[in-house]
C-alpha cells in the first residue's frame, strides 16, 4: 500500500495512458474499416488515413487526459507526430528481425513490437512531447 501511495500519480497516469491507447487502437481500426469497407479505398491508403486519424486522436487525448499539458501546442503537435513516425520505424526494426531472423510467428512478433512501441511512445510523450516546465524553485540546487 505504501508503494501505491508514493506512486499513485504515476500509476494513474499510466492507467490513463493505457485507456487512451485502447481508444486510439479502436479509432485506428474503425477508420481503417470505414475507409476500406465503406469507401472502398485501397488498403494501403486506408491504413495511411487510419494512422493519421489515430495519431491525431492520440495527440488530443494524451495532451488533455494523460499528460494534462498546457505547453505550446504547436511544438507539441510537431514533436508528437515526429515521435510517432520514429516509433513506427522502431516498430519495423523490431518486427522484421523478429520474424525474419528469430523466426517468431508474425502475430507474436507484432505483439512484441507493439509492447516496445507502447513503452517508447509513453517515454517520448512524457519526456519529449509533453514535458513539464521546471519552476524556478526546481532549478535551484538543494542542500541535502
Low-confidence ranges of the chain (pLDDT < 70): 135-144
What pTM value is reported for the model?
Answer: 0.85
Last residue of a domain, one of 53, 68, 83: 68
Domain that holds residue 58: 1-68
Task: Quote the distance between the C-alpha of residue 52 and its chain's center.
Answer: 13
Of the candidates 6, 13, 15, 5, which has an alpha carbon nearest to the alpha carbon of residue 126? Answer: 13
**Chosen domain end from 68, 91, 124:** 68
Number of domains within the chain: 2
Amino acid at each position: 500500500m505504501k508503494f501505491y501511495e508514493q506512486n499513485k500519480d504515476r500509476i494513474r497516469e499510466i492507467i490513463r495512458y493505457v485507456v487512451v491507447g485502447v481508444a486510439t487502437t479502436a479509432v485506428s481500426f474503425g477508420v481503417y474499416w470505414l475507409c476500406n469497407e465503406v469507401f472502398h479505398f485501397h488498403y494501403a491508403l486506408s491504413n495511411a488515413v487510419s494512422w493519421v486519424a489515430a495519431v491525431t486522436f492520440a495527440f488530443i487525448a494524451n495532451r488533455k487526459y494523460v499528460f494534462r499539458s498546457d505547453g505550446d501546442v504547436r511544438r507539441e503537435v510537431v514533436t508528437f507526430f515526429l515521435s510517432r513516425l520514429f516509433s513506427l520505424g522502431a516498430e519495423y526494426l523490431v518486427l522484421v528481425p523478429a520474424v525474419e531472423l528469430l523466426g517468431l510467428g508474425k502475430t507474436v512478433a507484432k505483439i512484441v513490437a507493439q509492447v516496445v512501441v507502447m513503452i517508447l511512445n509513453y517515454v517520448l510523450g512524457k519526456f519529449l512531447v509533453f514535458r513539464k516546465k521546471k519552476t524556478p524553485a526546481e532549478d535551484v540546487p538543494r542542500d541535502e
